[in-house]
Amino acid sequence: MTVPLAERASGEPTGTVSEQVCAAVLARARRELSPSQFDMWFAQLAPGELGGDALELLVPSAYVKSWLLAHHLALITESARQVLGPSARIRLRAARVERVGDGSGDGVERGGRRKSMPVPEDQASLDDALGEGASAFPSRYTFDTFIPGPSNKFAHAAALAVAEAPPSKAYNPVFVYGGVGLGKTHLLFAIANHMTALQPRTRARYVTSESFMTEFIKAVRERRGYQFQRQYRDVDVLLLDDVQFLGRAEETQTEFFHTFNHLHQHERQIVIASDRPPQELGGIEERLRSRFRSGLVVDVQPPDLETRIAILQLKALRDALEVPDDVLHFIASKFEQNIRELEGALLRVHAFASVTRQQVDLALAERALEDLIPDLGQEIPPAAILEETAEYFGLGPGDLVSKSRSRPLTTARHVAMYLLRELTGLSLIKIGELFERDHTTALHGIKKIEGLMPARGSTYKQVQELTKKIRARGRGDR
């Protein structure tokens, strides 16, 4: 439902709207945060009044207010906008309040909240948002959750500069490049989240070059070229991810070239992420590559040990996983090249402890990660994952892709999706495509396995055994 805020007179009582917004924020916070975090920061949130063009939410103290602003602003604005529409503005006010409305929900959804709950539909489409008119971006990718270190400090600083002072003429475009799983997409979303938090009217658009291409081709076919152009030109900031895939499509490149020029001339910010530097973008015309080089080009490198430990600490904290420091240190020392794998390793250790009902300690972590540690520079071809998974589950080559929804097939498919996500650099779109499905289906499958691993020994075992086989195959052990 959308209530046009602007049409309401200032000061008019807005009990219901305000309560709805409050309830939406609480529901989302309860879904995304651990119970202890929720209790600490959100339990006392209360609906306030409408003043000017902003809706107030009441918080118990100035301290809570500043914490929420610093850490959960995206969560709050996004959920409020789902009730009020994309341009709504929210203000937090510190005030003593009696508990109003529901908002308590004590006990409900708490015990098994993390991961074991199915992903709600809206969450699925937000995550790795494809820019389909979405004004909200996945809220877990912010600057608060990004650990800066020597390996990414320039990219981090550039991203922050762009996010705080758009349009920054000196840095336009910003071109970030680096290997798989090193935080490029995270930074793009962090920029979008930060800008829309600071200035809710900012029109930010995130798109992968693959989606840009697909949408463009579709628009041409359906004679909606003009609408397509407006979608990408009437924005304040355009975040183009995985630009290396633009290489194959000439006409899309031309369209992007004009989009780029239009935005640049109008001093709109452009940020591009790539797996390689501009000069190595094979298949991309020189005039585009030179545009990419014309701003600020920064790289991200694999993080050093200290940064990796800090990333794991933050991940453990956010997911409320109790993992001792020496274990975090151990994991960080073994997974060096890809932060997604690093985080995946932490989840596996937690899952192993959970399914075997043991404490997490060093010995357990060593066992959980035995034979899983990647070799330097080992690249896993997606086809190997598909083949091994099919073989492991006793399926034929076409079964994983088939439309059948029988239980064993679905499980095998979800496991394959999970492994593709953790072990390769494929985007959700690409993973979906491998199964002739869309990215939300891929995300759903991945979340499903993340949730099942700590809960069900059989799933944990399947994922572990398969990973070992896949890694061994990559090493040529068989």
Q: Applying CB under 6 A, which residues contact ligand ADP?
A: 141, 145-147, 152, 180-186, 311, 339-340, 343, 425
- 211 part of the interface to Mg ion, by CB under 5 A: no
Q: Verify binding: residue 185, Mg ion, rule CB under 5 A.
A: yes
Q: Which does 82 bind (CB under 5 to 8 A by kind): Mg ion, ligand ADP, none?
A: none
What single string gives the DSSP state of each residue in 364-413?
HHHHHHTTTPPPTT----HHHHHHHHHHHTT--TTTTTSS---HHHHHHH
CB of 372 to Mg ion, least distance (A): 22
Instruction: Evaluate the omega torsion of the peptide bond into residue 167 and state whether it is cis, within 30 degrees of 0.
Output: yes
Distance CA 30, CA 53 (A): 27
Q: For Mg ion, which is the closer residue by CB, 18 or 211?
A: 211
Residue among 180 and 395 whose Cβ is closer to ligand ADP: 180
Distance CA 133, CA 320 (A): 33
Q: Which is nearer to ligand ADP, 182 or 384 (CB)?
A: 182
Strands, DSSP E only, in 154-236? 174-178, 204-208
The smaller minimum CB distance to Mg ion, of residues 184 and 469, is found at 184
Say which DSSP state 97 is in: -
Binder of residue 459, out of Mg ion, ligand ADP, none (CB less than 5 to 8 A by kind): none
Interface segment toward Mg ion; rule CB under 5 A; list 25-33, 181-189, 245-253, 430-438: 181-189
Among 337, 423, 351, 339, smallest CA distance to 383 is for 423
CB of 328 to ligand ADP, least distance (A): 13
Least distance to ligand ADP, CB of residue 398, Å: 30
Alpha-carbon distance 215 to 255, whole Å? 12
Nearest residue to the partner ligand ADP, using Cβ: 183
If the CB atoms of residues 346 and 416 are measured against ligand ADP, the closer one turns out to be 346
Q: Label residue 133 exposed, middle or buried (CB < 10 Å: 0-12, 13-18, 19+).
A: exposed
281 interface partner picked from ligand ADP, Mg ion, none, CB below 5 to 8 A per type: none
- The DSSP bridge partners found for residue 332 are none
Q: At what angle do helices 73-84 and 62-71 cross, to 10 degrees?
A: 80
Q: Phi first, then psi: give them for residue 56, nearest 5 degrees.
A: -95, 145
- With tokens 């020189």, the residue in question is 286
Q: Toward Mg ion, which CB reaches closer, 242 or 450?
A: 242
In whole angstroms, the minimum distance from the beta carbon of 125 to Mg ion comes to 18
CB 60 within 8 A of CB 119: no
Nearer to ligand ADP, 317 or 362 (CB): 317
- Shortest Å, Cβ 205 to ligand ADP: 17
Q: Output the CA–CA distances (angstroms, integers) from residue 155 to 108, 163, 289, 341, 343, in the order listed.
A: 41, 12, 19, 21, 21
Cβ proximity to Mg ion: between 188 and 453 the closer is: 188
Angstrom distances, CA of residue 418 to CA of 85, 180, 348, 431: 34, 16, 12, 9
Measured from the CB of residue 23, what is the shortest distance to ligand ADP in angstroms?
28
Q: Which stretch binds Mg ion (CB under 5 A): 82-90, 118-126, 184-192, 452-460?
A: 184-192
Which is closer to Mg ion, CB of 185 or CB of 307? Answer: 185
339 contact, one of ligand ADP, Mg ion, none, CB 5-8 Å limit per kind: ligand ADP
Which of Mg ion, ligand ADP, none sits in contact with 180, Cβ below 5 to 8 A by type?
ligand ADP
Q: Would you state the structure tokens that stand for residue 231, as one six-digit string?
A: 């979608």
Sheet holding 296-300, edge to edge: 204-208, 237-241, 269-274, 174-178, 296-300
Q: Which does 181 bind (CB under 5 to 8 A by kind): ligand ADP, Mg ion, none?
A: ligand ADP
**Among the residue ranges 78-86, 178-186, 275-283, 452-460, the one whose residues contact Mg ion (CB under 5 A):** 178-186
Which of Mg ion, ligand ADP, none interacts with 340 (beta carbon under 5 to 8 A by kind)?
ligand ADP
**CA-based diameter of the chain, in Å?**
73
184 versus 194: smaller Cβ distance to Mg ion: 184
d(C-alpha 350, C-alpha 321), whole Å: 7
Query: In whole angstroms, what is the distance from residue 97 CA to residue 47 CA?
Result: 9
Q: Which of the choices Mg ion, ligand ADP, none does residue 114 contact, using the CB cut-off of 5 to 8 A by kind?
A: none
Output the smallest distance, CB 146 to ligand ADP, in A. Answer: 5
In this structure, are residues 183 and 339 in contact, taking their beta carbons and an 8 Å threshold? yes
Residue 146: contacted member of ligand ADP, Mg ion, none (CB under 5 to 8 Å, by partner type) = ligand ADP
Of 184 and 447, CB closest to Mg ion: 184
Residue 451, binding choice from Mg ion, ligand ADP, none, Cβ under 5 to 8 Å by partner class? none
Contacts of 359 (CB under 8 A, 6+ apart): 353
Whole-number minimum distance, CB 321 to ligand ADP, in Å? 15
Which residues of this chain interact with Mg ion, rule CB under 5 A? 184-185
